[in-house]
Structures are given as C-alpha cells and as structure tokens.
Chain A
C-alpha cells in the first residue's frame, strides 16, 4: 500500500536533505539528511538539544526550515504545507507530553482522530456510520480503554493518556507516524506493552520513534539514527551504533 507514487522523485516515503533551521542565531538543525522507506520503523536517539523535536516540527509543518528539501511520498514538498494539510496527507504525530482532549470522552477523542473528511460542513452534519463505529470499538480494544469509553480523557492516568494518544494515531491511519518518547513516564510493564503495540502498528505503517530509553529501543529492534547538534552522527543497527566512538562520547557516556 505504500508503493511509490508514479513520477516520484524518490522511492522513499520521507526524504529530508540538507535541512537547516535556526532560532535567533541558534542553529537547531544543520544540514540534516534522513530517509525513511515505506513500511520502515526507525528509532531516533540523541542528547537534549540534538534537534529531535525540531525535526518533527519541520516534518509536521509547525516550523519552516530556512533551507533544504523535505519530500513526502516522493513528490509532495512538505515545506509548502501547513499542519492540517500535512496531517491529511497521512503524517500523524504523538507529542512528548501526552496531549489529548481532556474535556472529551475517550470515545470522542478517537472519533475526532478517525480518518474522515475534515471540512466544516462534513463535521457539522456528521453521522457516525457503523463501519466507523466498529473501527472505534476495535481501537478502544487495542488500547485497552473500551470499558472507560465514556470517561473524560482528562481523568486518565499518564500512561493511559499515552495509550489513548497512540489509539488516536491508529484512528488517523497515517502512512507515517511520528512518535515522541512514547515510553516516557511509564512503568516497566507499560513500556513493554507499548513496545509490542508499536511493533504491531509498524507492520502496516512507517514509524519514526524518538526515544531516550535504550531498553525500549532494543526491544523494538530497528535501525537507529543518532542526532547530535542538529545533524546525523551515526546510523545503523543499535549494536553497531552503540559501538561507535563518537556516539559513546556525546551520548551514551563512557
């Protein structure tokens, strides 16, 4: 389903090349290049300030790069689009701090995320069809919140909110998921379950995971990219990366 678009400039799903951005003189990203293949799951690690969140901001349209190319699906220039347009292209994002709609029920949170036409009129006269209701129920089952569906999202625990947010990503059914520290603040048990969930998602979606937790990344068992001072320091399987001298120096510690 992630077959390259005809006439595409690249076969990669996501293609970043020579991207730079600075805030008031501070270079948050410097000529960053990165490609994600269709169906791939990639872990991104790096110390604080390495530019992980800024990179996600650029991909999702929150921040415009000063220079560089950001292509999606081979032919769409993401730097020209705003957040909503990028989301509708099929890029979903989970924030570092879980952000759900506190004053909506869990079910409504999923409903809002559910893939559908996002126009004003369509939402005004919206009727949930049975296929859609089934999908909502299914997702609620996956994130294990089916029995709490009527509760307000604001009343959930931190871990449950993380899951709800992952559920919302599932409902969006994006081609590419950006997941920022999904295991932050979770118990070990929850972390393990989250890893299982992500692996399941990765079977039919491309995923970028930003994470600090090495154990979690090992559990995912995917290719790792190390960011440092806004550009790529190393790339490869976790074992190979963690053996890299420079990576050990700037990040993992001796």
Chain B
C-alpha cells in the first residue's frame, strides 16, 4: 500500500527527477572518492558539500511548496523549522565533541563552560543519542508547526495575516536564540563539530556519505510530498487553496487538512536543516532571520510553485546563481539581482521556470483553451 501510495500517478517528470537525483547521489560521491584529484571527473570535497547544501535547500523548497503551492498557505517562517532541525542536529554534534573542546569539559559544550554554567540544561539531555536526535529533528519542528497551526487554522487566520504571523514566529525565535541564557550558544550558535556517528565530520568519506544521504532524503521527501499531493487528500488541499469556503461546505474540515500538510512540511524542513548543519559546519541564530524564509519563497516561485520538481529546481538554480554572483566582482550587486528576481518572477513568470516552459510546450502541442486564470491567489 505504501509503495502504491508513493509511486501511483508518478509522471515522466517525476521519474526524471528521481533518476537525476539518484544518479547525482551515486556518482558525485564516487567521483569524489575514487577519481584522482587531477582527473577531469574528480569532484572536490568543497564542491560536493556546496551542492549538498543546495540539495538541502531543495528539500526545504519542496516542503514550502507543499504548503504554499498546493495549500495556498504562504509561510514566511519555514526557515524556523529548517533551523530547528539544524539546531537539533547541532546539539547532537556538540555532544559528540566530548572532552575535545577548548575547555576540555567532557559534558558541557565550550560555550556553557565559558558562561560559567555548572551543569547541562535539562533540554540538552538525550542529545548524545543519535536515534533520539533523529526523532527530535522531526518532532521539534513538527510539534511547533502543529501547535502554531492548530491555533492559526482553527481561528481561520488566512492569507497575508497568516504570512505575517509566521514571520513574527521566526522573528521571535531569532531573538530568543540570540540570547545566551537560552543555552544554544547565543550569537555564535553551535560549531567546531568533530564527529557524526563516530566518523570525523570533516573527513572526505563522511562528506561523501552525507551527500549521498542528502540525495536519499531528497528523494524520500519528494516521494512523500508527491504521494500526498496526488492522493485525494492532495485534491482536497488544492481545493482549499482555490476555494476554501466551498471546500468547507462540502464537509471537509479545512483546518485539519491544513494542519496535516503544515506539520508534515515542517518535519521535512527540519530534516533538510539537520542534513545542512554537518555539511556547512555551523548553525547560528541568523538561520531564523525572516529574510531567509522569504528567500526560500522566491526559490519556489522561481522554479514554479505548485510543482515539486519546480521548487527543487528553483532552490538549486537560485543558490547556484548566488554562489556564482557573490564569488566574483559582482558580489556587491547580488542584492540587486535577488531583488530584481523577486519583482520579475512575480510580474512576468507567475508560474515559475517550469510552469512557463510547460506553458509554451502545451501551447505548441494543443493550442486549445486551458483555464485562463492565473494560479489562484490564496484568499
């Protein structure tokens, strides 16, 4: 039943996406590990980690697309779920440092020693166990999303109001995590990681494994999201996006459907964050910055909202462009480019890259009428 749930209705584009991600996930680590450094087929560890980061963003974009593209909930706080997943992983990695920290305290992370803390706060208990952390990576963002969504959707907060309070949510978390007494390293966050499940986090082999793991989770996330949106629940969710009150009059409890999608999406974002942290080597409060969450929205918009492949594509394209831009002499102008991208995509490419290309394609093949309407505004 699970297989059928995940693979039914898979289209050509979906299979192509799966094939590409699987191939990358297999070939890039091999090219990194087996090819000699001089070979044209060699992929450096730095490049691999960079692309690993892009793929984490792709998973984040898919999770956002699930709520925005399909359910019409524009979350401006998805970065918060990503960062919470990241912090959960960061806490695990901190605990793995053990007595190798600067202060050599076997239990307390360096920043706690620095702050003169005597014992580990209770909420750090358990984070030395990997399975527990895996659970937390899902549970912490999921629980926050569930509680937040339970309040918000039940009281029918929609549209821009919802967007603004999701932004307030991540802003509040940003302020909170900046505080030293929260016990998450304050301003500096968590860094100087050593090991992950017993392997050196800096080692080439570990990096390759992390990259492969990222691809695997991206595939899993894609399949899960795909399974959801193509199920009848997916149809209900799209119906909610396009005509919320009509859906309610059909007897669907709109709040519960929204809550389900929002929570699943937050868990996916948490996984993306957890994979991101060991590859980037640091997690700090700036991940909660509202600007990050809005940037995620633009990845989805660029790729094509309402298309999971598009969202992933958008994340990779925009971040690749960002790297290109900010590493050259154009670096100071990146914000101009990013800003212009926001304006251009909303004005001229409301369906994103994928939607626009598909539109041309379909127009050439069968010029007959499709609905003239734009992707419906949510509310």
**Complex contact flag A–B (Cβ < 8 Å):** yes
Chain A interface (Cβ < 8 Å from any Cβ of B): 60, 62, 82-84, 87-88, 92-93, 95, 99-104, 108, 111-113, 118-120, 123-126, 152, 154-155, 168, 172
Interface hits, B245-275 → A, CB 8 Å: 245-254, 256-257, 260
Number of B residues near A (Cβ < 8 Å) is 32
Q: When the two chains form the complex, which single residue of A95, A124, A155 contacts B233, counting CB atoms closer than 8 Å?
A: A124
Could you tell me which residues of chain B, from 338 to 379, have a CB within 8 Å of some CB in chain A? 369-373, 375-376
Question: Across chains A and B, which 4 residue pairs bring their CB atoms closest together, nearest first?
Answer: A154-B371, A87-B251, A126-B232, A123-B233
CB distance from A177 to the nearest CB of B (A): 12
User: Are the CB atoms of A123 and B231 closer together than 8 Å?
Assistant: yes
A118 contacts B252, C-beta separation under 8 Å? yes
> Are A112 and B376 within 8 A (Cβ)?
no
Find out whether the CB atom of B373 lies under 8 angstroms from the CB atom of A154.
Answer: yes
B249 partner residues in chain A, CB cutoff 8 A: 60, 83, 87, 92-93
- Are A112 and B369 also in contact (CB < 8 A) when A87-B248, A125-B5 are? no
User: When the two chains form their complex, are residues B250 and A172 in contact, meaning their CB atoms are under 8 A apart?
Assistant: yes
Residue among B236, B238, B250, B369 making CB contact with A87, cutoff 8 Å: B250
B270 to chain A, nearest CB (A): 20
Counting chain A CB atoms within 10 Å of each CB, the highest count among B228, B242, B249, B372 belongs to B249
CB-based nearest B residue for A87:
B251
In the assembled complex, which residues on chain A have CB atoms less than 8 Å from the CB atom of B250? 87, 112-113, 118, 168, 172
Number of A-B contacts (CB under 8 A): 89
CA distance A108 to B252 in the complex (A): 15
Q: Is the CB of B236 within 8 A of A102?
A: no
Docked-complex contact A83 and B245, CB < 8 angstroms: yes
Chain B residues whose CB sits within 8 angstroms of the CB of A88 once the complex forms: 251
Q: Are the C-beta atoms of B252 and A84 separated by less than 8 Å?
A: yes
- In the bound complex, do residue A111 and residue B253 qualify as a contact, i.e. CB atoms below 8 Å apart? no
Residue B235, interface by CB 8 Å: yes
Residues from chain A with a CB closer than 8 A to the CB of B228 are 124
Contact of B235 among A108, A152, A155 (CB under 8 A): A108
Point out the residues of chain A lying under 8 angstroms from B252, CB to CB: 84, 118
B330 beta carbon closer than 8 Å to chain A:
no
Q: B239 touches which one: A62, A104, A126 (CB < 8 A)?
A: A104
Q: Which residue of A lies closest to B227 (CB)?
A: A124
- Given A83-B245, A124-B233, A152 and B371 contact (CB-CB distance below 8 Å): yes
Within the complex, which residue of B232, B242, B260, B372 is in contact with A101, where a contact is CB–CB below 8 Å?
Answer: B242
A88–B168 Cα gap in the complex (Å)? 36
Residue in chain A with minimal CB distance to B231: A124
Q: How far is the CA of A108 from the CA of B235 in the complex (A)?
A: 8
Q: Does B135 contact A (CB under 8 A)?
A: no
Q: Flag if A102 contacts B253 (CB, 8 Å).
A: no
At the interface, yes or no: B10 with Cβ under 8 Å from chain A? no
- Cβ of B182 < 8 Å from any Cβ of A? no
Chain A to chain B contacts (Cβ below 8 Å), 6 pairs:
A84-B254, A104-B238, A112-B247, A125-B1, A125-B5, A126-B231
